[in-house]
Chains A and B, each alone.
Chain A
């Protein structure tokens, strides 16, 4: 544990996990917003939108995240010149958020869509019968019930997102897995303790997160 009593090393550890937290937070927001829109597209009566949603899910769910994050860096940034910040770290961070969001959105979309299937058809009929539009029916009646049905699987997706955030290290962001690699390179005699501290930190945060989502799922469940 001597490794972490060195202030520089501790800073590396701390900054690494702060990046993971930020990536996870921004990725959650981005993937939920995108995922809900995609799910709405997939159940919409308009064939073009349905096709777009299906295409998105098939493309991003079946492409390795590493490839997507690489593409965000080498494709969007290097080749196409998309610069999201002047600061190089911030730029890599935002490129990572884009990659994580478009990828995770595919999973969020499918979770929400399976939630929509748990809402009885009569709910939508009743909404239409009082004169609600398709969008109102979806946003006021269907999605709130669908979301409550998929809190637990969404929790799993967000936990996976937190761990997947380490992939942004591959495009140069000093997040926790890169930080761990750096500490191990410099302290070859303490590989196991370093690994345990990094892995333990993830577990310490994510295990309660899993229980929190389980508890929320019970609390928010719609009684029928």
Chain B
């Protein structure tokens, strides 16, 4: 499903948080339909990289282009870009004062100005797809973490995005709820959605990723296929990381 046509291109991206150089000359290309999993130790800059792609974190240097155009700095153009790039957060961030269905409908209705009636139909089928249709009229606080995260995925999908960004989507979940979220993500990957996934789920990286990117200390250390990366990591840093997480 992966084509060689690039959708997200980062070139020599730099970002500082005060004295911390969190992204150091990072270059990465994600093709249309590709699933790229970003892994690495805490504080390596993975989340910042993910958030830079829809400019929730502005960068200090380098360029990011999406679908052939450089990221707009602000205003309407930036809002339009964000509407084309779905984002799923570690802490779900469902709108607490809206029902599940309203959460999914809000973007298309408010941002795209679509008719609520047609959006409702699409939203319900998306909720059905992630297995939450029966909870449509509940509020986020009434759902489990795994259910909330699946709603968050449906909310992102409702905008019919060209790509989806996942910022540690399962890190805040109880262990028994991780699977249901990863199942939804795996099915999206199979359907050809372009995805950038920051995660610690090595199983997901192995079976769903087209490519694994390993980051450490703000640098992109290694990128290869999942098989190559897990069987035969090239860098010392990656070997060290894998030895720490895979021996348990």
Residues of A within 8 A of B (CB): 120, 122-123, 125-133, 136, 140-141, 144-145, 148, 222-224
Interchain residue pairs with CB less than 8 A apart (19): A122-B92, A123-B95, A126-B87, A127-B95, A129-B54, A129-B56, A130-B82, A130-B86, A130-B106, A130-B107, A130-B111, A132-B79, A133-B76, A140-B110, A144-B97, A145-B97, A222-B97, A223-B139, A223-B141
B214 contacts A by Cβ under 8 Å: no
Residue of B nearest to A127 (CB): B95
B76 lies within 8 A of A126 (CB): no
Q: Quick one: which of A125, A136, A145, A148 contacts B56, CB cutoff 8 A?
A: A125
- Pairwise interchain contact A131-B82, C-beta atoms closer than 8 A: yes
Known: A126-B89, A130-B82, A131-B80. A224 touches B107 (CB 8 A): no
- Contact between chains at B93 and A125 (CB < 8 Å): yes
CB contacts (< 8 Å) of A132 on chain B: these are: 79, 107, 110-111
Selected contact of B110 from candidates A122, A123, A125, A136, CB within 8 Å: A136
Q: Which residue of B lies closest to A140 (CB)?
A: B110
- CB-CB under 8 A from A148, the residues of chain B are 97
- Whether B107 and A222, one on each chain, are in contact in the complex, defined by CB atoms closer than 8 angstroms, is no
A224-B87 contact given A126-B93, A129-B54, A129-B56, CB 8 Å threshold: no
Question: Can you name the residue of chain A whose Cβ is closest to the Cβ of B142?
Answer: A223
CA distance A140 to B97 in the complex (A): 10
B97 proximity list for chain A (CB < 8 A): 144-145, 148, 222
Closest to A119 in B: B96
A128 engages B56 (CB within 8 Å): yes
Known: A131-B80, A223-B139. A140 touches B93 (CB 8 A): no
Contact residues of A: prevailing secondary structure:
helix
Across the interface, which residues of B come within 8 angstroms of A136, CB to CB? 110-111
Whole-angstrom CA separation of A131 from B56 in the bound complex: 11
B: number of interface residues (CB 8 Å):
31
Verify if B59 is at the interface (C-beta below 8 Å from A). Answer: no
- For B83, the chain A residues whose CB sits under 8 A away are 130-131
Q: Mark B48-90, 1 if CB is under 8 A from A, else 0.
A: 0000001010000000000000000000100111111111010
Number of A-B pairs, beta carbon distance below 8 Å: 71
User: How far apart are A71's CB and chain B's nearest CB, in angstroms?
Assistant: 40
Tell me if B79 and A222 are in contact (CB < 8 A).
no
Q: Is the CB of B159 within 8 A of A131?
A: yes
**B185 at interface (Cβ–Cβ under 8 A)?**
no
A122, A129, A140, A144: which contacts B82 (Cβ < 8 A)? A129
The interface residues of chain B lying within 8 Å CB-to-CB of A222 are 96-97
Contacting A at CB under 8 A, from B121-145, are 139, 141-142
Q: How far is the CA of A128 from the CA of B110 in the complex (A)?
A: 12
Cross-chain contact B95 with A141 (CB below 8 angstroms) = yes
Among A125, A129, A140, the one with the most B-chain Cβ atoms within 10 Å of its Cβ is A129
Q: Closest CB of chain A to B98's CB: distance in Å?
A: 8
Q: Name, among A126, A127, A141, A148, the residue most crowded by chain B CB atoms within 10 Å (CB to CB).
A: A126
**Distance A123 CA – B79 CA, assembled complex (angstroms):** 16
* B156 lies within 8 A of chain A by Cβ: yes
Q: Are B96 and A131 in contact (CB under 8 A)?
A: no
Closest to A220 in B: B97
CB-CB < 8 A to A141: which residues of B? 95
Give, as a whole number of angstroms, the nearest-CB distance from B74 to chain A: 9
Beyond A120-B93, A131-B81, A222-B96, 20 extra complex contacts between A and B, CB < 8 Å: A120-B91, A122-B92, A122-B93, A126-B87, A129-B86, A130-B82, A130-B83, A130-B86, A130-B155, A131-B84, A131-B111, A132-B79, A132-B107, A132-B110, A132-B111, A140-B106, A144-B97, A145-B96, A145-B97, A223-B139
* Minimum distance in angstroms from B159 CB to a CB of chain A: 6
Please give, as numbers and ranges, the residues of chain B lying within 8 Å of A122 by CB-CB distance.
89, 91-93
Known A140-B106, A224-B141; contact A130-B93, beta-carbon cutoff 8 A: no
